[in-house]
Amino acid sequence: MGALASQLRVACPCTLRDRPDALEGASSSSSELPTRLRVCELFAGIGGWRHCGCTRLALQAMLPQGVSARFHPYDSGPHCSEVYARNFGEPCCRRNIEQLAAKDLEDFDVWLMSPPCQPFSTTREAKQRDLGDKRCAALDHLCKLLPLLRNPPRWIALENVKGFHGSEACAKWRAALAQAGFSDREIVLDLSSFGTPNHRTRYYLLAERGSRNLQQSAAAVPRLQEAMPPGALARGPWARDRRAALEAAHAAARKTPRREDKEAIFGAARRAFVQALALLSTPDVGRDVSSLTLAGTESWKLLPLPKDDPEALLVVFDIDGSDNTVATQFLEELPTLDSSQVSWSCWPPPDREHAAWAARRVGDFLETPDSGELAELLLPESTLSRSFAPGLSYVHAKDLRTFCFTGHYGKVLHKSSGSLLLTSEAPIDRSRPQASAGSVRFFSPKEILNFLGFPASFSLPPEMALRHRYKVVGNSIAVTVASELLRLLLLGQGAERLAQLEQPPPTRPAPAAPDA
């Protein structure tokens, strides 16, 4: 058993029967913790929530003296259970959550849970079946059990993809919480806001049963703009018109399943934007604007951000993850335009600070793979010669941004499943990506764990197939973010800092009208 596991009193819920200590040390005050914190991990995965409590929140070190933690993990996945046992010395209970009775969930202080995200995923190929997906059955069962408990938990934390917000399952879960006497707070946060060079936007729901109202505790804290990649921010009537055109392009792209058609739509939108920028300038410099080659106009990415400002549009010049150096150069070389129509600025502003988290580069999270592992990670020339290769996300160690790593990383090649690492200093030639063969590799599962905030001591079974390692890691939580939420939920600390990074909840698109 590892050092971390030996510090904690761990019990598999399969072996628990009567718990005479269930109310030991309990306090009627929501600001105090019991001397023995009983934590139930539902959908435990590889133990991300537990590492939030142990390594990041450091229950044994940071909480009041004399407080101890006892974890009871449930997860039916064999690979997750294997990883969990390797790092904590005890396996997850493999019982199906749908088969639990109310008595199995009595007398816990905390529930930590990450239900399956597939029914709510917004990635390509996702069907978003919500409660109609059989993988929602366990959460649906918990919705029925929670109001029936004689001694429900005092605190509950749930994590899922942002598509969970506004879903039928979300509404049903919040109704169950209210029926059981909980107040709750929804928070949408991105891992990149915490100084990690990885975009991983997730929905979190914190719930507490007691006198403190989680919504009121943060009501007085102003919310800043959501985390956005570095670029040039346009505002004004001209930007509003360009944004409307971009929103229309996004709507058209959502209606077609073919990647080539989507790329053609966005390519046309990008060309129209450059042309509109040229027409806005004076005639004698219009040609110069239309031929701007800072990073190449074909690499420009137009984003309808910030979401709550319809007169704003963000132009990102490097889709793979550099800082705003190119944006600064763009603004310096851009001719003077009509300020009544559009104003330009760098994002983020030079003086903007993201709370206490300074931006770190990709290289800070890299490992040195041995020759055998490197052979598994390198992309062959044949793959880099495929038609989709130019559209993938390639990043260097110096970059500040990567795309979200999903459970399909290593299996599905698309930037929405995660970025690729370019080990050479030369930039990728998007017209001939195969020229970089031997210098392009996948990030390793261990490196993805580093991005997510797992400790260096956390390990994966080397004999486990690479695809399974990618799946369990890609489906895990961001420990860096979730630990701060536990700090808020259990200790009431960090509300202002989190509110500065909080993003507006996603807007669920209206169902498409049936074809005539």
SS (H, E, C) 254-298: HCCCCHHHHHHHHHHHHHHHHHHHHHHCCHHHHHHHHCCCCCCHH
In the sheet with 9-10, reading across from the earlier edge strand, the strands are 9-10, 68-74, 36-42, 110-113, 155-161, 201-208, 183-190
Which of 117, 136, 170, 404 is catalytic? The answer is 117
CA–CA separation, 8 and 169 (whole Å): 33
Distance, CA of 290 to chain centre:
36
3-state DSSP: the chain helix, strand, coil percent, rounded to 5?
40, 15, 45
Which residues, in sequence order, are bridge partners of residue 190? 201
Pairing of strands 394-395, 420-422: parallel
Q: Are the C-beta atoms of residues 88 and 72 closer than 8 Å to each other?
A: no
Q: State the DSSP code for 424.
A: S
How large is the greatest C-alpha to C-alpha distance in the chain, in angstroms?
84
CA–CA separation, 198 and 359 (whole Å): 10
Q: Which residues contact 445 (CB under 8 A, 6 or more apart)?
A: 460, 466, 469, 470, 473
CA nearest neighbour of 137 among 123, 112, 119:
119
CA nearest neighbour of 407 among 63, 52, 79:
79
Q: Are the C-beta atoms of residues 88 and 19 closer than 8 Å to each other?
A: no
Peptide bond into 310 cis (omega under 30): no
The C-alpha angle with vertex 497 and arms to 492 and 502, in degrees rounded to 5, equals: 105
Q: Are the C-beta atoms of residues 166 and 506 closer than 8 Å to each other?
A: yes
Dihedral angle computed from the Cα positions of residues 468, 472, 475 and 479, in that order, rounded to the nearest 10 degrees: -150
Pairing of strands 231-235, 343-347: antiparallel
Measured CA to CA in angstroms, residue 76 lies from 17, 39, 171, 299, 305 at distances of 20, 18, 25, 43, 40
The two three-digit tokens of residue 433, written as one number: 């990506």
Count CA within 13 A, CB hemisphere, residue 167. Answer: 25
CA–CA separation, 130 and 119 (whole Å): 5
Q: Is 93 a catalytic residue?
A: no
- The total of other beta-carbon atoms located within 10 Å of residue 179's CB is 12
- The total of other beta-carbon atoms located within 10 Å of residue 34's CB is 18
Query: What amino acid positions are annotated as catalytic residues?
Result: 117
